[in-house]
Amino acid sequence: MDTNLLENTPFEGTGAAPEPMPRMHLTSREIEVVRLVVRGSSNTEIAAQLGVQLQTVKNMLSALYAKLGVSTRLQLAVLALRTGFDGA
């Protein structure tokens, strides 16, 4: 298993208190997608939950990755958890 999955990501820990998730840059729909990703929902499950097409979920995730400087679903979830994202 690759132990460097999180290398060069914007959320490498310093041991300091978590910083808030940058919500001011996320839409309410994007926040909902992040919440569902953190819960472990698949793209298909997210699409069903939000009532959108699977491709729409993929597009939303790509936009989130770009906004938050991550490149994978795992990095998105880790960022959300490390920054104290509570899904509220």
pLDDT 10s digits, 66-86: 999 999 999 999 999 998 875
More confident residue, 6 or 87: 87
pLDDT 10s digits, 11-64: 444 444 445 554 457 889 999 999 999 999 999 999 999 999 999 999 999 999
CA nearest to 68, candidates 53, 85, 54, 56: 85
Burial of 10 (0-12, 13-18, 19+ CB in 10 A): exposed
